[in-house]
Each structure stands twice: as C-alpha cells, then as structure tokens.
C-alpha cells in the first residue's frame, strides 16, 4: 500500500486562460488522484467542517482510503494564486492554513504498515513524526518548499538522511543546495542524505540523479494548458504509484517512474483543479505513455560517423 500525508485544500486560481474559486486542491488530493490509477492509496490529512466531502467521492470510487482524513472544527486550508504566461511560476496571493496549522498526523494500524510513503509539502518536523510511526517502509519520498528550506532548514537537514528520494522543483533545489546549476544542485542535495534526487522542471520535464547515474525526461508537449496547479504533486503520484505497482525501485524502475510522473502530470494541466483527473483512465495513461516513448526514441549514430 502507498501512503500519502499532506494537504487537502480549497484553491482559488487565476491563469491567462480562466479562473476558478474554491475548487478542490491540496498536495494529498492531487497525489492520490494520480497514484490511485496504478495502486491502492491511503490518505492522511485534515479538513475543516466547511469542506465539501462529496467532491472526494471520485477518489473513494477509485479505491483511495480516506479513513485517515480528519474532519475538525474550523475552516479548511486555502490557497489563492495567479499565473502569468510563464506557467512555471505561481504568484501566491493568499494562504490560509486554518485547521492545517494544528495538523498532527496520526497513522492508524494499516497506514503504519505502508510499503511506500510520500511526505507531502508539510513542516519537516511533521514529516519526521510520520516516519516515526511507519514501521518498515520500503521507500520514502518527500517534497518540500522554499518556506521550509528557509525557516526549518535544520529540521529538513535531519529529515533528508531518512528518505530515499527528494522531489523538488528548480528553485527549491537551488535554494537548498546553494548552487545555481541544476546538475550541481542535485548532486549536492544527494550528499545530504537521500539516495536519489528528482527535480521537477514544469514544462521542461524532470531530472533524476542517483549516484553516478542521471536521467532526464522532457515534458509531454501539449497544444493547450489551462492550469499547472498540482502538476508537481500529480508527478509525484505517478512516480510513486508506478513504483508501488511494480513492487521495486532500482534505477531502471526509477527512470520509468519519472516518465510516468511526466505522463500523468501532462493530463493535470489540461484543465483547472482536478477536472481532468476525475475521469482519467489507466487506458488513456498507457496510450500517452506509449506516445511519450515514441516521441523520445531515436537511433544510434550510424557507424560511418566516427
């Protein structure tokens, strides 16, 4: 089983292609919507009494366990952001932690036995408390953000040796490593403890480094992009969902997982919120994965070129 601990939120988003108010969002929501196409997922998070639980029924129908999603008095975590034509960067207009400010992850017996764990973008202190409750995970992946890198750096540095893969974007990798070059930044972060580092690069794809091995996958080319919100968490869901489905995680599997992450993330950005992911099928994912493979396949240089 795959466990995700993170936010379940309500987002208000504006892009050059439209706007939406109070739509479904949050790292755990996007992650589980993607990963559940491939493997069973259990969610641990918190929402307020104002949260429209009916909007999560599509996850239940897909086999996602929401037993670990607490509903408490107060308002649900909210995020408001705006994108310009550079869809790689969001301008945060408002963040209201609300009930998420007092979130204390509690894992039931089933969640404690999870084989693979994704620690969504939450306080690294809480991420470590989650790991203290998981019994014998085979793979632990984590996300973080600029806020924690700056404000909780010491705690983050204590977390890194306890995880297998760190999933971050360009800016976060540069800030954490103190390196402008992405390749150098990934190598520097690897020295901090994780077995592998995967840098999510938005419309430019994803870069993976593990020891002396490196792998790069481009983003799937799309003619229309509506909303990039949640693409990084969807990437993580595809990445870990495939690894859990395969039941292994050697370098070859990690490469496949990067491509799967890019594939499912490409669906996410085609519509606002989780609108595209609600009805997405594994058959559609398989077809685009194959197109992705054909897109990036090429032959060796002819022997005459020496």
State how far the Cα of 267 lies from the Cα of 234, in Å rounded to an integer.
9
Query: Phi, psi at residue 285, to the nearest 5°?
Result: -65, -45
Closest to 146 in 3D by CA, of 84, 95, 204, 77: 95
pLDDT digits over 43-75, tens only?
A: 999 999 999 999 999 999 999 999 999 999 999
Structure-derived torsion over alpha carbons of residues 290, 118, 39, 103, reported in degrees to the nearest 10: -130
10 pLDDT more than 90 = yes
Tell me whether residue 267 is exposed, middle or buried, using C-beta atoms within 10 angstroms of its C-beta: 0 to 12, 13 to 18, 19 or more.
buried
What are the sequence ranges of the domains in the chain? 2-296
Q: What is the mean pLDDT of residues 258-279?
A: 96
Whole-number pLDDT of residue 282 = 97
Mean pLDDT of the chain: 95
With beta carbons less than 8 A apart as the criterion, state whether 269 and 225 touch: yes
- Architecture of the domain whose range is 2-296: 3-Layer(aba) Sandwich (3.40)
Please measure the distance between the N-terminal and C-terminal CA atoms of the chain and give it in whole angstroms. Answer: 50
Whole-number pLDDT of residue 116 = 97
Whole-number pLDDT of residue 90 = 85
Cα–Cα separations (whole angstroms), residue 156 to 41, 149, 193, 238: 25, 7, 11, 24
265 pLDDT more than 80 = yes
pLDDT digits over 152-207, tens only?
A: 999 999 999 999 999 999 999 999 999 999 999 999 999 999 999 999 998 899 99
């Amino acid at each position: 089983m795959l466990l995700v601990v993170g936010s379940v939120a309500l987002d208000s988003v504006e892009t050059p292609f439209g706007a939406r108010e109070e739509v479904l969002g949050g790292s755990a929501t996007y992650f589980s919507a993607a990963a559940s196409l491939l493997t069973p997922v259990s969610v641990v998070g918190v929402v307020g009494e104002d949260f429209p639980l009916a909007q999560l029924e599509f996850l239940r129908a897909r086999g996602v366990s929401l037993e670990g999603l607490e509903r408490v008095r107060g308002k649900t975590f909210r995020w408001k952001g705006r994108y310009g034509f550079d869809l790689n960067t969001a301008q945060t207009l408002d963040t209201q932690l609300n009930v998420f400010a007092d979130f204390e992850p509690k894992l039931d017996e089933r969640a404690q036995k999870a084989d693979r764990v994704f620690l969504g973008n939450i306080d690294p202190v809480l991420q470590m408390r989650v790991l203290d409750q998981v019994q014998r995970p085979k793979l632990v992946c984590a996300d973080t953000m600029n806020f924690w890198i700056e404000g909780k750096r010491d705690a983050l540095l204590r977390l890194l040796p306890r995880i297998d893969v760190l999933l971050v974007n360009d800016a976060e990798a540069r800030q954490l490593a103190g390196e402008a070059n992405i390749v150098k930044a990934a190598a520097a972060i690897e020295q901090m403890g994780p077995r592998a580092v995967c840098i999510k690069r938005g419309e430019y794809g994803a870069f993976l480094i593990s020891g002396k091995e490196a792998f790069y996958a481009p983003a799937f080319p799309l003619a229309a992009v509506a909303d990039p919100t949640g693409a990084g968490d969807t990437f993580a869901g595809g990445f870990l969902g495939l690894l859990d489905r395969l039941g292994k995680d050697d370098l070859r599997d990690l490469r496949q997982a990067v491509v799967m992450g890019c594939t499912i993330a490409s669906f996410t950005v085609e519509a606002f919120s989780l609108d595209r992911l609600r009805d997405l099928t594994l058959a559609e994912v398989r077809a685009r994965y194959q197109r992705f493979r054909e897109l990036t396949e090429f032959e060796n240089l002819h022997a005459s070129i020496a």
